């Protein structure tokens, strides 16, 4: 009887070890992957489509009031659809990864401008991934102030439609929490997304 219990325990330990090794390999594959932003097909901020706003004059009084109120109440929410390309290392192309939570941050000219958190699970695979995400937004505060800088909101609203020659340097970084066989695992550092 003790021998059977010992065999079952050993078998269970081998299964757990096998899952742990597979999880480690999956995590390593996605940590070593190259990520690039291929497209932005939709960006709505509190229901206002920012891709249709090429300059400040394109915002109606209603748009401005909606954004200002949401900004003042720290209640900005974004919905966007992006094309994220994932290039996994050689030999890892068949792997997939479930991201249970995704922290992200946007830097404009290397200055921290915007952060967000995506809480809906997203499945990533090698190749192009079309992802629709909803995320509350937090703007970085102005220097010496605890209030977010309204100029950063206005600058960001028109940033996406500028010609590439006039566009400032924009960097998107992500920090995913991955679902593994032993539970969620948050990557220790942000991953830079190529634009």
What's residue 62's pLDDT? 92
* pLDDT tens by residue, 54-87: 777 888 889 888 888 888 787 888 888 888 888 8
What's residue 5's pLDDT? 54
Q: How many residues does the chain have?
A: 195
* pLDDT tens by residue, 119-137: 888 888 888 888 888 888 8
pTM, to two decimals: 0.69
Helix, strand, coil shares of the chain, percent, nearest 5, are 30, 45, 25
Assign 13 a pLDDT band (cuts: 50, 70, 90). very low
Q: Phi/psi zone of residue 90: left (φ > 0), alpha (ψ -120 to 50 degrees), beta?
A: beta
Residue 35 tokens, joined: 């990520």
Distance CA 146, CA 152 (A): 14
């Amino acid at each position: 009887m003790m021998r059977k219990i010992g065999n079952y325990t050993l078998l269970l330990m081998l299964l757990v070890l096998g899952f742990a090794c597979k999880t480690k390999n999956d995590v390593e594959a996605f940590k070593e992957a190259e990520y690039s932003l291929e497209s932005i097909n939709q960006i709505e901020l509190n229901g206002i489509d920012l891709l249709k706003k090429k300059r400040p004059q394109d915002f109606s009084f209603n748009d401005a009031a909606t954004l200002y109120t949401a900004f003042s109440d720290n209640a900005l929410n974004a919905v966007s659809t992006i094309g994220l390309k994932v290039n996994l290392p050689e030999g890892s192309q068949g792997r997939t990864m479930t991201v249970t939570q995704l922290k992200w941050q946007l830097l404009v000219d290397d200055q921290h401008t915007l952060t967000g958190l995506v809480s809906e699970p997203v499945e990533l695979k090698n190749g192009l991934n079309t992802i629709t995400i909803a995320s509350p937004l937090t703007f970085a505060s102005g220097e010496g102030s605890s209030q977010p800088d309204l100029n950063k909101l206005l600058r960001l609203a028109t940033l996406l439609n500028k010609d590439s020659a006039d566009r400032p340097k924009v960097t998107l970084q992500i920090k995913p929490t991955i679902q593994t066989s032993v539970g969620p695992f948050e990557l220790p550092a942000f991953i830079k997304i190529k634009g």
